Structure 1
């Protein structure tokens, strides 16, 4: 492939990454409008966002294997067509269920085909320093998606309709398919692998149950049942559902070992996970996306529900994180050559810690735009530096024949982190909100015993993240006197901020814990490798 064509191919491949990041960022800034349009609540939209990431995580390894079976280029293009179909369905979705099918399922399955194939095609087309640069460009395009998503999605949502974003995605997908000729795949030798359908099913069920349990914890309760569809021995089903997911994943591991022992092709070669560098890269990817999606679920709620900003105003306030992430992800590959991936990742995590502390200091009833913008800029800097390193670390830890499998693991890690970020941090937010509201109500001397009882009944029925105007209206409908309506509203407003701070603090805890998985990241500077097969050593030695 000549030089010009190679870089054209990178732009086409990177556009796929751009679209998938754009999707999530648009959804996050459109939460309030989606709640209104579908006459639902924040928890339901949280479930749709989580399910999108979960579908990708559950089928990403399978998507990578399908790429090995049918050809990565063919699967990339097929996945784009599936993704475009899902975007079209999402654009015209009349109900929340159709939205979930179009966005979460169809688009999620399309992405599960596209992303591992994209990672493998990039890895086989570039080597050494070029590969690090290529992944920096991919990270930059992801940063551009985060940059464009809140602003474009916010403007379109506020002044037109969020549906136009998904209609526009269909046009972009068609454009990508029209430029399919610039994507070239190297001929592969030897027999094509077969799909381990049993393993694919077991892994999907295991991941699905695990994330489902975390997602529903705020509704079901962790131990004491709150509002579950059923109980287990008198306890909430949450831990049992998560435990069932872990059990399925344990069965999946045993099944993979059995397949290898009898000479059959497994879905995942577990020996890959035995490589310290690759394992460390994957675990850091989980952390990165858990932090990012947890914050990108929490922060728009603060801006839209607490501060009352519309989607466009929310997008404007998220612009600093988008801009600095774009710049840092583009420049990060050069830093990896000057220092090392390990040092860059650790510096990125330290930067994220500063951002979380700064952000905690800005969560107040009245927003300080300058302080908030500063915290967002530092957050984007840390995220961009992480994005610039981890894709190259994972792919450079795998051989040529393992590219799709490594890509499947890479994007499984990313989307598992995304699903857990939205589900876990969202659950912690709601749980902290409920606890803080209970405490505020119990300790407020202005509230009567009857008002406290009614608040307790409402909490037992389930709590969601509402605006103070909605809480005030609900309190007035119960016939409370004005003084007690004010007291309930003030208690809820204070509990809102406590819940938001608890959720952001949790992302800070994940950031600090992420330092524990960095020792096995490459400690040497990346350098150019002159031999196509040598970049596992050359890029990371």
Structure 2
């Protein structure tokens, strides 16, 4: 048991880092009430958290190289705990944003890359594959348990206790710091690339901001943006600006390498097929998971009318099967190889999506829904069991913090894309289906159709049918037409949900394309990672002699 103490500490930190967002998502209505604000303000706070994490993850990984991964891990935890404490007592929305979005986000950006590298340093061979499987399962479990824990706390106590509990966990982890080991550094530490850090943070922040706000601003036609560009929504322009800054960042990094100075990240790492495929697979995993975890709670809470705790209970099978599958998957990967396990996971996720589509009905079948959630957890657990190990053992010892920064940047980008893209598709499909239903319903008069069309042009939200009924009654429609509008919206709700879930299925199938570079050999074999012959001066030359994968392709 003592052998796994380090994993308990590192796994607790991983679970803590992913718990917050899922807790906040089910507590939005209570936060609106407590701070006397609007839903959009709370969504902005959640968006800022994702922005801070995505923008500073690569920087956090580089700081681990400079000051030591163990030191950065525990310093980041202390920062994170400070943010949690401030969040727990936040008297205003501004203090909430400072504590949760900024301070906790910065703490997570320091902790996560160091945590990924420390797993590799504390475990070798087969134990490392098991460790990454457990850590991956805990990450998914945090996403799944968050709604249950947050829902129960919010419904029966207060959401503030979740953050107070996080402080207790952080203190406990800090007291166990002796169990984490780190290999002493050989040679001088690298220098921080300040310009590269600023460019990467700015580029990623702009890109993530554009994607996250697409649901509010609209992709092309402006929906509710703060400004327009030549009459168009600013979304694509903001994303384009982020891409332009990132292109400038790559040129700057190449210039530093050519000049013999330390870059923020060695871009030649991305030429390695194993690492590149692992990062793209991780991005896909989080895109699929967060897309579904945006859609499914809407079905449970808005369509079925369940409260936060009841919603969390129905998501529990995902957490349970994900933990089991991640443990089994790490063993399976040693026999079948990561590529086969990831493709099996994607096939399982496809089956789960098909099953979910069959369960999205006006009246929920709890048994069928629980089974679909369990299958979803199996697929996610199998996928999570492989990717952390693939990414970290696909590089040499010196590049592990850089790989960790890239790993969690890909994870947060996937999460942002999942919420934004699937959310946009959901709202777009809802509007289209509602328009079609209203136009084809003979019970509605031309005047009622016109009133509904005017309301749609002003924007549409995913709300309950009772809210639609009340709005129709306030508009002065006769009872028969109120029923017709309500029925049309109820049908459009289900069509919108199914379209969004179907889109995650399409992304799942497309994800098979990025698995080509994953290792096919058994894990646990002491073979070096695949390296690119055309590398930077000091990139990819320090290979790990205890590598867990046999890279192919």
TM-score of the superposed pair, with normalisation by structure 1: 0.94
RMSD: 2.2
Stretch of structure 1 that moved more, 156-165 or 50-59: 50-59
Change (3 A) 1:527 1:267: same
SS in 1 for 2:544: helix
Per-residue CA deviations over 1:93-149 (Å, capped at 9, x if unaligned) read: 445444333322221111100000111111112222121121122123334434532
Per-residue CA deviations over 1:199-243 (Å, capped at 9, x if unaligned) read: 122222222222222222233222222332222222222222221
> 1:535 aligns to what?
546
Change (3 A) 1:89 1:500: farther
Q: Give the whole-Å Cα distance in 2 for the aligned partners of 1:211 and 1:528.
A: 38
> 1:189 aligns to what?
186
Is residue 165 of structure 2 the alignment partner of residue 154 of structure 1? no
Change (3 A) 1:508 1:124: same
> 2:327 aligns to what?
330
> 1:20 aligns to what?
17
> 1:7 aligns to what?
4
Change (3 A) 1:298 1:134: same
> 1:319 aligns to what?
316
> 1:244 aligns to what?
241
Q: Give the whole-Å Cα distance in 2 for the aligned partners of 1:188 and 1:158.
A: 49
Give aligned pairs, total. Answer: 538
> 1:342 aligns to what?
339
Pairwise CA distance, 1:38: 5.0
Residues 465 and 489 in structure 2, CA contact (< 8 A), matched pair in contact too: yes
Q: 2:384 aligns with which of 387, 390, 401?
A: 387
1:372-521 residue pairs with structure 2 within 5 A? 372-521=369-518
Per-residue CA deviations over 1:9-36 (Å, capped at 9, x if unaligned) read: 2211111001122223323333454455
Q: Give the whole-Å Cα distance in 2 for the aligned partners of 1:43 and 1:318.
A: 25
Residues 49 and 422 in structure 1, CA contact (< 8 A), matched pair in contact too: no
Residues 125 and 548 in structure 2, CA contact (< 8 A), matched pair in contact too: no
Pairwise CA distance, 1:301: 1.1
> 1:276 aligns to what?
273
Pairwise CA distance, 1:494: 1.8
SS in 2 for 1:337: helix
Residues 205 and 245 in structure 1, CA contact (< 8 A), matched pair in contact too: yes
Q: Give the whole-Å Cα distance in 1 for the aligned partners of 2:450 and 2:285.
A: 42
Per-residue CA deviations over 1:296-325 (Å, capped at 9, x if unaligned) read: 111111101111101111111111111000
Q: Give the whole-Å Cα distance in 2 for the aligned partners of 1:91 and 1:459.
A: 39
Is residue 288 of structure 2 the alignment partner of residue 291 of structure 1? yes
Residues 430 and 464 in structure 1, CA contact (< 8 A), matched pair in contact too: yes
Residues 45 and 101 in structure 2, CA contact (< 8 A), matched pair in contact too: yes
Residues 17 and 141 in structure 1, CA contact (< 8 A), matched pair in contact too: yes
SS in 1 for 2:495: helix
Q: Give the whole-Å Cα distance in 1 for the aligned partners of 2:86 and 2:184.
A: 35
SS in 2 for 1:171: helix
Q: Give the whole-Å Cα distance in 1 for the aligned partners of 2:286 and 2:494.
A: 23
